[in-house]
Structure 1
Amino acid sequence: MITVRKLLHYGVACFAFLTCKSSAPTGGSSPKSTPIPSPTLVLAGDYPDPSVARIGKAYWATATSSNWFPAFPLLKSTDLIHWETKGFVFEKKPDWADFYFWAPEIAPEKGKVYIYYTAHKKDGNLCVGVASASKPEGPYRDHGPLVCQTDGSIDGFPMRDENGKLYLVWKEDGNSVGRPTPIWAQALNEERTALVGEKRELFRNDAPWEANLVEGVSMIRQGDYFYAIYAAAGCCGSACTYGTGIARAKSLLGPWEKYRQNPVLAAEPSWKCPGHGTPIEKDGRHYFLYHAYSQQGGVFVGRQALLREFRFTNDGWIAFERTANPATSVAGSTKDDFNGSALSTAWNWSVFRPPVVQVRQGQLQLTARPDHVGAYIGHRTISPNYTARTTVTPEQPGAWAGLAVIGDDENAVGVAVQGGQVRVWKLEKGKEQALGTAQIGKVPRVTLLAKVQNGSGISFSYSTDGSSFVPVGERAIDGSYLPPWDRALRVGLTAKGTTGQTAQFDDFTLNSGL
């Protein structure tokens, strides 16, 4: 893979499965480490539904990718703070699934690593599946879906009961059809290939603050109790209402009791809609890794991963700490000179439109598509304010080579160059609109520049000498319509044209927090 100077991505890890269920008693003799300020931004950018695990001496994390591909990034850390993407669970879609790759749960046990995940079944609905590998970086072998209910099944979490019996805990997605959302548990065979016996309901959305759903359950066992940390209400988008609740039971199968003071995490001055994470015990302290939208970056940057300390109270509940006001975005820069032989792990693309790319001799070649945005690859952003630039070789009759802010296949805003013309365009619900053009004549190189302010104010310019930039198109394009409901924007490279045409890119630079 290409070595890329990373953006300031931060990370954390936790025991997401069996290593998370047992811990030293509160007030015991376990050594206390220096606490991490709570909350702390640890994975900046679009990392929803984070899950982490300690495997050997390292920590591994993953997160929802939804319709961005490859699916489920695999991030490694040795210090719980700095993370490196080492690969992905799926470079190719499993045979049974087509989109919505959600809520992966990483669970190591007995020399193997399991990923429980949600995906949409072809000609069906949402299902919980599982994949496994002999090492955390993979390769992963998919074992297919474990449960596919009529209304959809999501957010699988493995847990052993008080007798050591393995169960899968998941949510029935009733809210998608206006129904309640039971949290189920059912025994799982040790091969992780099938559920066995009968399912049992643990609890459902029956408290006013939970609104139309409960979901994203993770569990930890402490003392006499199993604790479920769960999310409720509206997960996503600018009108989200997500919060985090606690329930407890002395047996995994219940009865379960909800905390009267729920939600234990709700909107704060810097962050909103906190939820869907996993607990970790580290050096005698307990933390919760979860996602939230920053009040500054919101839906444009996406649901970012935060770490927050919690403690077990004398009356047998969980209390979350607050010791800091974390930054809501991160400044940094990255540059890809395409000096390797393959595409960097920093790049994503649409699950529906896999790109055809070649990386060689310091140049990226992207094969064009004729429709919608064209072919494209995208990069996460970590701040609502950033600039992105690329240098292209305009060819005649090559493809339109461009730079764009991308929501999905049918919603994007960009600038592109072909031959002697630069044009700015807007795609909304699949309909394209021209926003301006400029004639530049025959030049060997053109640098395209995008500037984004407050997540949605977009403007473009170009340069034929790499230093003096000329604005083109509207000065303040409104990109507020761009983010899909469940994920954040990408900024990236596009190629639009007839089959067989290509676009050539010399570099890509992203400067964040400007």
Structure 2
Amino acid sequence: MTFSIFSATRQHTTLLLIGCLSAGACQQATAPTTTTTKAPAATIANPILPGDFPDPSVVQVGDTYWATATTSNWGPVFPLLKSKDLAKWELVGHVFPDGRPDWADYYFWAPEISQEGGKTYVFYTAHQRGGNLAVGVASADTPAGPYHDHGPLVGQPDGSIDAFPMRDENNQLYLIWKEDGNSVRKPTPIWAQRLNDDRTALLGEKQELFRNDAAWEAGLVEGVSMVRHEGYFYAFYAGNGCCGNGCTYATGVARSRNLLGPWEKYSKNPIMVNNDTWKCPGHGTVVQRNGRWFLLHHAYDSQGFQNVGRQGVLSEFTWNAEGWPEFQGRSTTVGAAPAVAAHNLTDEFNRATLLPTWQWPVQNKPAFRVQGGQLHLMASPDGSGAVLGQPTHTATYTATTTLLNPAALPTGTTAGLTAHGDPDNALALTAGGGQVQLWQRIKGQQKVLAEVPLPAAKALQLRMQVEKGSQYRFSWSTNAGKTWQAPPTNATVDGAYLPPWDRGVRVGVVAQGPASATGTFENFTLVNQ
């Protein structure tokens, strides 16, 4: 079965259910919602979260929807986005804006945002320092934060990931999560265990709900999102391989009269699979609006694929006569595509701080300052250098930046424009040491592809042109972009090696060299095509 692209309508009432975190919410979920009257309205087009937003989660607080998503090894950790209509989203902050929780070092995955009792909770996955993957929790008095971290709740020897809070039929609070057995070639049980009301500790014994035992699920089930409807608990979940060009992800559903089971998987699973536009759909959160049901999940655009990353997609479903969810449209139905210009970015560095869309490697946060219309990026000798990057939204785009006074950079220092997968895999055009260099870094080994003498100019504009997500061409200009010069080879560089298995490429600025040196940038633009 194919999955639908969301073409929504505005109505006069708003209804939302994320999980079943209170008795009132459970009662609301049992109300009939399968028949609605649709009024004309503007189309909501996918992706609603363009760019790299895996494992998206959403909750409604008052008249506002709040969403977050995986950041993996990019900081700041876990974006906070808000919307009034599920269509237009604004990035307003991060759960951990300045650093990482003390107990964790990398792999910040699958944040699940929920609201109850006037507080907001974010359950999330991270790698424990000196340990394995674990589930932690942070809380705040408002969805915008600031958030206080409460540390890890569960970290099994094989890893614990993808947490979801849920109240049972007796209003007892439970934590649902996946044991990451597939990481060691074992099954992947979905567990439930009592959770105290402060969400700071598990109580009693864990109990298995179900595991990967169907052929289509292959090595795993994960990413459970629950909702209660018409007397059943429904668990939407993902199965098979999540990520990369060879992904096999799809979405299934199971149900039970009681939270602890027995659970029955739908005989027609998977209920959401590939279509012509979106590949490997899965790991999302159920959401209602105006009496209609949706799953906000991630999927790869077939054009940009892993170079852009897993984007946030909203797919509608209804309940069939047997009480199972069915996603709309057995053939691909596409709403109007978002205008790529809406995602163009220009940063003149004329604010007191960086735009919130800038990111950095979570284990290598660079030192920088924004002052007088300039970004001053302190260099780093580690990995591919100090990096600030922007997520991409399309497979074809152009990025440019202006580097000031490249001839004044200290010996052993270069700065410029980069496409960055991770600290060990990058591609860049930089200036310094009397040279303009095109270089690539693959698995930690850096190699110069081309170099020419540095032109005599106080400002050097650097340009990156990308096609098909992974084909890179670089050039530079000494006259504000009136004419451009390419490296001697003038060749397209294949950057297919750049994206790690679980995230997309970032493009931005880099400064490589001793920490006492600084690269100074006057602007940065990213134009989608």
Q: Normalising by structure 2, what TM-score?
A: 0.91
CA RMSD of aligned residues (A): 1.9
Give 1:336's aligned residue.
347
Distance 2:254 2:95 in 1: 31
**Post-superposition shift, 1:501?**
0.3
**Residue 358 (structure 2) aligned to one of 341, 347, 350:** 347
Give 2:91's aligned residue.
85
Distance 1:164 1:489 in 2: 43
Matched ranges for 1:281-300 at <5 A: 281-300=288-307
**Is the CA contact 1:18–1:109 (under 8 Å) kept in the aligned structure 2?**
no
Give 1:62's aligned residue.
68
Give 1:316's aligned residue.
323
Amino acid at match of 2:466: V
**Post-superposition shift, 1:267?**
1.2
Give 1:471's aligned residue.
486
397 and 44 in structure 1: CA distance in 2 versus 1, 3 angstrom threshold = closer
User: Any idea what the Cα deviations from partners look like across 1:22-62, whole Å, max 9, x if unmatched?
Assistant: 43633578765668879832111100000011111211110
SS in structure 2 of the partner of residue 236 of structure 1: coil
Matched, 1:486 2:498: no
**Is the CA contact 1:482–1:489 (under 8 Å) kept in the aligned structure 2?**
yes
SS in structure 2 of the partner of residue 300 of structure 1: helix
Amino acid at match of 1:468: T
Give 2:47's aligned residue.
41
**Is the CA contact 1:65–1:71 (under 8 Å) kept in the aligned structure 2?**
yes
Aligned residues: 501
Q: Which moved more, 1:468-477 or 1:149-158?
A: 468-477
Amino acid at match of 1:337: E
Structure 1, unpaired ranges of 5+: 1-12
Give 2:523's aligned residue.
507
Amino acid at match of 1:25: A
**Post-superposition shift, 1:81?**
1.2
Matched, 1:365 2:376: yes
**Is the CA contact 1:16–1:51 (under 8 Å) kept in the aligned structure 2?**
no
Distance 1:427 1:496 in 2: 12
**Is the CA contact 2:243–2:502 (under 8 Å) kept in the aligned structure 1?**
yes
SS in structure 2 of the partner of residue 471 of structure 1: coil
27 and 220 in structure 1: CA distance in 2 versus 1, 3 angstrom threshold = closer
SS in structure 1 of the partner of residue 182 of structure 2: helix
**Is the CA contact 1:181–1:213 (under 8 Å) kept in the aligned structure 2?**
yes
Distance 1:445 1:234 in 2: 47
Give 1:224's aligned residue.
231
**Post-superposition shift, 1:440?**
3.7
SS in structure 2 of the partner of residue 209 of structure 1: helix
Identity rate, percent: 50
Matched, 1:462 2:464: no
Give 1:7's aligned residue.
none
Q: Normalising by structure 1, what TM-score?
A: 0.94
User: Any idea what the Cα deviations from partners look like across 1:260-310, whole Å, max 9, x if unmatched?
Assistant: 010001111111100000011111111110000111111001101111111
**Post-superposition shift, 1:397?**
3.5
**Residue 430 (structure 2) aligned to one of 392, 413, 416:** 416
Matched, 1:397 2:409: yes
Distance 2:213 2:70 in 1: 27
SS in structure 2 of the partner of residue 475 of structure 1: coil
Distance 2:34 2:187 in 1: 41
SS in structure 1 of the partner of residue 492 of structure 2: strand
Matched, 1:215 2:230: no
Distance 1:27 1:87 in 2: 33
**Is the CA contact 2:271–2:326 (under 8 Å) kept in the aligned structure 1?**
yes
**Is the CA contact 1:419–1:441 (under 8 Å) kept in the aligned structure 2?**
no
Amino acid at match of 1:74: L
**Is the CA contact 2:407–2:454 (under 8 Å) kept in the aligned structure 1?**
no
345 and 504 in structure 1: CA distance in 2 versus 1, 3 angstrom threshold = same
**Post-superposition shift, 1:437?**
1.3
**Is the CA contact 1:436–1:474 (under 8 Å) kept in the aligned structure 2?**
no
372 and 178 in structure 1: CA distance in 2 versus 1, 3 angstrom threshold = same
Structure 2, unpaired ranges of 5+: 1-14
